[in-house]
Amino acid sequence: MKQIFSLTVLVLILVGCSDGSKKQIEALKKETMDIHDEAMKDLAEMNRTSRKLKEFLTVATMTPEQSQQFTSVLADIEKADDEMTTWMSAYEDPKGMSSAEAVHYLQEQKQKIEKNRDDIRAALEAGKKLLPQTGQ
């Protein structure tokens, strides 16, 4: 009887821990995707800003210093865009992983997409600061 009780308690503990891990995994997935969605909205605006800057560069007459400022910002925009593409192609659902592996993987992915979101926002802001010089 004691063995059955002990086994039942052990099973309940394991199931309880498993449910907690599943909830943590689902929460991390949601947080990661929410950050991704925010970054994608900013990415769209960043790309519109990039097009305006590129259009201006094709017709503008500037000093090399002024031109360098635009090309530097455009390089940052392109880098942030490429990083998003890389992240999206590399991201996988952690369904075949153990709970611990899935949590670790999702924490890493969340950090990567947070950095990318921050890079997108920084490039967008830098681009917006140059827009008044373009007359747009």
* Residue 17 resides in a domain: no
pTM above 0.75, yes or no: yes
pLDDT at residue number 11: 41
Tokens found for residue 6: 């002990």
* Residue 19 resides in a domain: no
Q: How many domains does the chain have?
A: 1
* Residue 93 resides in a domain: yes
What would the DSSP string read from start to end of 26-70? Answer: HHHHHHHHHHHHHHHHHHHHHHHHHHHHHHHHHH----HHHHHHH
Phi/psi at 122 (5° precision) = -65, -45
pLDDT at residue number 101: 96
Tokens found for residue 40: 């994608």
* Residue 107 resides in a domain: yes
* Residue 103 resides in a domain: yes
pLDDT of 17 above 70: no
Amino acid at 118: D
Instruction: Give me the domain span that covers residue 48.
Output: 25-130
* Residue 6 resides in a domain: no
Question: Can you count the helices (H) and strands (E) in the chain?
Answer: 3, 0
Q: Helix, strand or coil for residue 73? A: helix
* Residue 20 resides in a domain: no
pLDDT at residue number 3: 61
Render pLDDT for 21-47 as a digit per residue (tens, 0 to 9). Answer: 899 999 999 999 999 999 999 999 999
* Residue 3 resides in a domain: no
pLDDT of 6 above 50: no
Q: How far is Cα 38 from Cα 52, in angstroms, rounded to an integer?
A: 22
Mean of the per-residue pLDDT values of the chain: 88
- Most confident region among 9-13, 60-64, 67-71, 120-124 by mean pLDDT: 120-124
